[in-house]
Amino acid sequence: MSISQKRAAALLRRFRRRRVLIVGDLMLDRYVYGTVERISPEAPVPVVKVLRETSMPGGASNVACNIRALGGQAAIAGMLGKDAAGVELRWLLEHTDVDVECALMLAGARTIVKERIIAERQQVVRVDFDHLTAWTSRQSEKFLVMLAIALREADGVIIEDYGKGAVTQPVVDLVLATAAKRGIPVGLDPKAGHEVNLQGITIATPNRHEAFAIAGLPDPGIRENPAADKALRRAGEILMEKWAAPHLIITLGAQGMLLMGRGRPPRHVPTRAREVFDVSGAGDTVIAACVTALAAGADFLESAELANIAAGVVVAKLGTASCTPEELLAHMRNVRR
């Protein structure tokens, strides 16, 4: 581990004065927890006896909550439906102190909901309520005006693209132009299959599957040493050229991360997780910690280390989770032992 605990603590204290704007697809995550005691007589599926239900922000909203948990200031820009799920998501975000002024609520639209059924700490099934709504030209213009105002106050920006309609070329152009003028970092959590010109971002954090898919290469399979994985490195090189990005983090699940930077050899950072219960939302934690750290003055390697440690905390929790500064520092102490 290259970053010291003292340096990590200093950066985390700076998070309180940094404001990150998350632009992208807003979702509500619902969880139904229960137990399984029998198989259904109607079909070969488990019968889940529900014990409790909970909801939390998902998608771009979860990135905002991760930044708040780490101590940073967060604002979101995207679309919500004027429905029960949209009202619930907005309420959850407001009560997490996330700025929702740039969350446009559209009449006739329906908020995206992802519902997970979990029994005995195992996910049984996920049900997605995806309702893509085409924005009118008037709505798009209004959103761009709101976004321009929000960008003036941001110390960093994250583009959170799930391919659900919020990340369009005019939106990206405005973000990149404003960020370049103000000298603030822009992070990208990409989605395979959604082509937008993103040249000019600071850093991207695709997972292995996304990296190969977006690069247009077949994945030959996992290698023992990611830093010596020629196919993975080639995919990373293609993405850095495609996005004109000086930095790239390819997340590799249990293998940790592959860090790539312009003018330096690829570097493998092993996972800092002690236990893995659920990887849901781990990518959100990585991009949240990384961009907030860059906005706070960290260099690329420091930001990647902090993101890796935060992800190690999150995957040890069940469900879409986040990491606090206290948890991050405690995890660093435990890993060093």
Residues 6+ apart with CB under 8 A from 132: 164, 165
Q: Whose structure tokens read 């077949």?
A: 218
**CB 236, CB 248: distance < 8 Å:** yes
DSSP 71-106: T-EEEEEEEEESSHHHHHHHHHHHTTT-EEEEEEEE
Q: Which of 25, 99, 161, 284 is catalytic?
A: 284
Residues 6+ apart with CB under 8 A from 117: 32, 34, 48, 123, 124, 125, 126, 127
**CB 133, CB 79: distance < 8 Å:** yes
Q: What helix, strand, coil percent values describe the chain, rounded to 5?
A: 40, 30, 35
CA 73 from chain centre, in angstroms, equals: 16
Using CA atoms, how far apart are residues 149 and 35, in angstroms rounded to an integer?
A: 48
| CB-CB neighbours of 332 under 10 Å | 21
Known catalytic membership, residue 284: yes
Residues with catalytic function: 284
